[in-house]
A and B are shown apart, each in its own frame.
Chain A
Amino acid sequence: MSTIVSLPDQATARIPKRNYITNENGILSWLLTGDHKRIAMLYLISITFFFFIGGALAGLIRLELLTPQSDLMAADTYNKVFTMHGVVMIFLFLVPSVPATLGNFLIPIMIGAKDLAFPKINLLSWYLYLAGGAMTLTAMITGGVDTGWTFTTPMSTHFSNTNVITTGLAIFIAGFSSIFTGLNFIVTIHRMRAPGMTWFKLPLFCWAHYAASILMVLGTPVLAITLVLVVLERTIGIGVFDPTKGGDPILFQHLFWFYSHPAVYIMILPGMGVISEVISTFARKRVFGYTAVAFSSVAIAVFGFFVWAHHMFIMGVSNYAVLVFSLLTMLVAVPSAIKIFNWAFTLYKGSITFETPMLYAFGFMGLFTIGGLTGVFLGSSGTDIHLTETYFIVAHFHFVMVGGMLMAFLSGVHFWWPKMTGRMYPEKISQLAAVVTFIGFNFTFFPQFLLGMLGMPRRYAAYPPEFQVLNVFSTAGASILGVGYLLPMIYLIWSLKYGEVAGNNPWQATGLEWQIQSPPLTENFTTIPVVTQDVYDYEWLERQKEHEVTHVG
């Protein structure tokens, strides 16, 4: 199979001596850095750490569900394990994953800026993230928490006697990390663009992050205040969510989902941004209908605020509210459909190669399509009654988040790895890993759709024996999936030392980030670029290369 990879001559090629990694030495130069690229790397390390913690917990869950009885662990342990899995994966991995690592690293470079608008706040947000993570781990080690990541009242306020307060405050703090990241991105994209970098020359990656940032800035504080109220209710018993004192537990649901539904768009939108970049690069084509894809991101962000009560259809909200929220849910599904088809048609008349990031992107498209369409099953109120709170929800959510978001994350990490480290990852084994991940994923989560259809409720430590076969499939798939995730971990670390030198633009991609050295200088650009070319302008790139050949070569 042919490839577009063009690496410099390995015999002579060297990683540039001066770059953001070698610029300063010593641990303090990392811990006190204001450089968005270094902070991105710090984030990359810390979210990987939490991903493997969350993954280990997922492994425990799957092992427990291998048999119908709760034999590996007692029911309360199981409850703590799945709660921690949810909390760690959602608040400490999925929410910061692409934005805090790839977004942090790339957004300033993509728009031609030297750094994010507020480098110190960027660093602060990493420390807040760490503080939140440390508190979560503390809560986990000192007895765990068993409310589920949704902290449903009055369970979390009056009936659970586990570390709800610690975990709640941990999420509160991690939430502010997310707010600051989002705030930084919005300001940066508005104010720091290089001359000539108009809104419609922004890479779709930036549009997606812009949309996600709006959700972070406007949604997260509502979660924060809700958790504060839960903590106050636990500590002094204020009774805002307590039915015995006249409070309404459904109000908690409203406030919680006002954040937590947009949160899934916070998680998926940056992934969609990655996919746009990757598909364009490996099809050598401008993204089909750039404007539609850009605006669909913003549409998802705006509509994302209008649909939260679809998590509460059977919870006794008013039937009129159910109608309205169900209708709006159907509307928010449309921009996602637009994106999928636009990506598919980007391939049309392209010149396609199949490097690892592209394989992950294909995986994303398939799995996200399934995840999105099954979301419609749940958005339609009549079928929601049967499917909600079963493994169907679990499968749907994991198709979107793990199948969608994690695929996109891995796609992006591979795609920008040469830029971040200056070295290529080994192509063959990483293609293998992509395929293994895809197969393992389907084995793990597709049976869960069937379990959900059959009515198996989620969060069950023990289940009726007739569901065992599908659960065994799922657990078997999870072990394949685990291998799929460990492989990149290993070969990416290996490539740090032994990978081929990547050069500036191994993929022949058009983004500004590919026109500078890899790894970039601390200040990204020696002089601020003036953007004259269009976005995804491959013809410009060709001319540029010819120009170089005639003048340099």
Chain B
Amino acid sequence: MGLSPVLWQFLVKWMTNFAIIPPEASRIAPQVDALLVFMTLVSLVGLVLVGLLVTAFSILYRRERNPVATQIEGSTLLEATWTIIPLGLFLVMFVWGSVLYFRIYTPPPNAMNIYVVGKQWMWKAEHPGGQHEINSLHVPTGQPIQLTLISQDVFHSFSIPAFRVKREAIPGRYTTVWFEATQVGTYHLFCTQYCGTQHSGMIGEVDVMTPDDYKKWLASSTSGVSLAQNGERLFASLSCNACHSGQPDARGPSLADVYGSKLTLSSGQPVLVDEAYLRQAILNPSAHITQGYAPIMPTYQGQISEEGLISLVEYIKNLSSNYRVQQTLNTSTLLPEQPDKATAKGAATQGVSKP
């Protein structure tokens, strides 16, 4: 008797909260759900078919009714049927699923980019305007959002069930996923890849807001320094501008408008400049040397944190002229000549990794 009120409570709770799928809060969600429903229906039909066959045969051919079995070798026709029909259905699911997969992982060109850094055990979201959030993400409706994910330590996985999207955050490499939120509300944000002790604490909330609210939120929560501005400071303090000055005789290539362009590497390979390329070119420069330049750039591996890299990448992405690069260079001529030593001075700037 003692248990029954508890059970009753649970039942009521379950009946009132009954849901088998999370809310559909993104443009892709109904499309994923359509395939899920199709698959569920096919599965149910298959299961019922097997169940019916087994039950019917068990009743019809139980020993009491059918004391002597009739030996049957098999039937090529029947076997072909249940080879080809499942195969056909599975192939439909494959094609349908692949189409969805490419949709989910191919961001549209007008997507707004937000960087997300995973670390044990929190998500840090970095908006281009300099808004930083921990374990939460504010996004507007009606605007495609691209997430550029990276992990600072182990594998994490960024999952928003209500949007039906999920992407692994990998150490040492950018991955992307995009969504377009449709419903205002608060949704779960999970880390789904097991990442250590506080794995289950690495959850947060996605706040979907109307575009107006979002603008207000952006204005109210900015840190005052946009990612690009922070990147500019890093660019100067790491003395990147000493070589990438944009001057004709500079030792490094000009970085203005380099993002999105096609470069030819010193190995002769053509390459598209995207976030991943920029990040790699900072950390492993020698394999990413633009044709016509000497491989003299030092590696910044271990000197810049992932957040710092994001700032630098964002800065270079938005760099459309070398005017300010040269300005900073002129004003900072008092800095010592050795580029490596300058980092010590710039360590105070956000993003330089602390040992």
Listed in ascending order, the chain A residues whose CB lies under 8 Å from chain B are 1-4, 70, 75-76, 79, 146-148, 150, 152, 154-155, 159-160, 243-244, 246, 249-250, 283-286, 288-292, 313-316, 319, 322-323, 326-327, 330-331, 333-334, 337-338, 340-342, 344-345, 347-354, 362, 365-366, 369-370, 373-374, 376-377, 379-386, 388-390, 450, 453-455, 457-464, 466, 468-470, 472, 538-539
Contacts and interface: CB of A to CB of B under 8 A. Distances in A.
A298 to B, nearest CB: 15
Contact of B43 (A342, A349, A350, A373): A373
Contact of A389 (B67, B166, B175): B166
Given A2-B64, A352-B62, A453-B21, A365 B54 contact: yes
Contacts of B57: 344, 347-348, 350, 352
Given A377-B36, A382-B100, A75 B197 contact: yes
A168 B109 CA distance: 45
23 contacts: A160-B196, A243-B170, A246-B284, A315-B170, A319-B101, A319-B102, A319-B105, A326-B98, A333-B90, A341-B82, A345-B75, A347-B57, A349-B70, A373-B43, A380-B39, A380-B98, A383-B97, A385-B101, A385-B104, A459-B199, A462-B200, A464-B188, A472-B10
Contact of B99 (A330, A345, A382, A459): A382
Interface string B142-176: 00000000000111010101101111101111010
A248 to B, nearest CB: 8
B51 interface: yes
B200 A460 contact: yes
Contact of B74 (A291, A381, A382, A460): A291
B167 to A, nearest CB: 6
Contacts of B58: 347, 352, 354, 362
B46 A345 contact: no
B258 interface: no
Contacts of A79: 194, 196-197, 199
Nearest to A335: B83
A465 B47 CA distance: 32
Contacts of A382: 32, 35, 96-101, 103-104
Nearest to A470: B14
B285 to A, nearest CB: 14
A214 to B, nearest CB: 22
Given A386-B161, A469-B17, A366 B51 contact: yes
A303 B148 CA distance: 35
The 5 A-B pairs of least Cβ separation, nearest first, read A455-B161, A382-B100, A380-B97, A243-B172, A289-B74
B344 interface: no
What class of interface size applies to chain B in its complex with A?
35 or more
A327 B170 CA distance: 25
B46 A369 contact: yes
Contacts of B323: none
Given A289-B74, A383-B32, A464-B188, A345 B53 contact: yes
B43 A353 contact: no
B192 A386 contact: no
B345 to A, nearest CB: 25
Given A342-B79, A454-B161, A366 B47 contact: yes
A326 B94 CA distance: 7
B187 to A, nearest CB: 9
Contacts of A327: 94
B155 A315 contact: yes
Contact of B79 (A75, A292, A365): A292
Given A152-B193, A314-B168, A382-B98, A344 B50 contact: yes
A291 to B, nearest CB: 7
Interface string B39-76: 10011001100110110011001111011111111110
Contacts of B197: 75-76, 79, 146
Contacts of B192: 388-390, 457-458
Contacts of B193: 152, 389
Contacts, number: 301
B63 A244 contact: no
B86 A334 contact: yes
Contacts of A160: 196
A244 B170 CA distance: 12
Given A146-B197, A352-B58, A380-B39, A464 B71 contact: no
Interface in B283-317: 284, 301-302
B120 interface: yes
Contacts of A463: 200
Contact of B154 (A159, A388, A390): A159
Given A315-B155, A389-B192, A244 B172 contact: yes
A314 B195 CA distance: 16
Nearest to B163: A386
Contact of B196 (A146, A290, A316, A344): A146
B13 A338 contact: no
Nearest to A74: B197
A352 B61 contact: yes
A190 to B, nearest CB: 25
Nearest to A452: B161
A470 B63 CA distance: 41
Contacts of A286: 71-73
B78 interface: yes
A70 B198 CA distance: 11
A244 B301 contact: yes
B165 to A, nearest CB: 6
* Among A286, A374, A382, residue most surrounded by chain B Cβ atoms (within 10 Å): A382
Contacts of A373: 39, 42-43, 46-47
* Among B102, B193, B301, residue most surrounded by chain A Cβ atoms (within 10 Å): B193
Nearest to B66: A351
* Among A249, A338, A347, A468, residue most surrounded by chain B Cβ atoms (within 10 Å): A347
B164 A385 contact: yes
B53 A383 contact: no
Contact of A289 (B75, B120, B190): B75
Given A382-B32, A385-B104, A350 B199 contact: no
B270 interface: no
Contacts of A460: 199-200
Contacts of B116: none
A334 B72 contact: no
A218 B100 CA distance: 35
B32 A154 contact: no
A539 B196 CA distance: 61
Given A319-B101, A338-B82, 9 more contacts: A75-B199, A159-B153, A286-B72, A316-B170, A362-B54, A373-B39, A383-B36, A389-B193, A454-B20
A459 B193 CA distance: 8
B39 A377 contact: yes
A538 B167 CA distance: 55
A347 B157 contact: no
B72 A326 contact: no
Nearest to B36: A383
Contacts of A468: 10, 13
B19 interface: yes
Given A365-B50, A382-B35, A469-B10, A326 B97 contact: yes
A70 B200 contact: yes
A79 B102 CA distance: 34
* Among B68, B155, B167, residue most surrounded by chain A Cβ atoms (within 10 Å): B155
Contacts of B43: 370, 373-374, 376-377
Nearest to A323: B98
B108 interface: no
Contacts of B39: 373, 376-377, 380, 383
A48 to B, nearest CB: 29
B185 interface: no
A337 B83 CA distance: 7
Contacts of A462: 200-201
Nearest to B161: A455
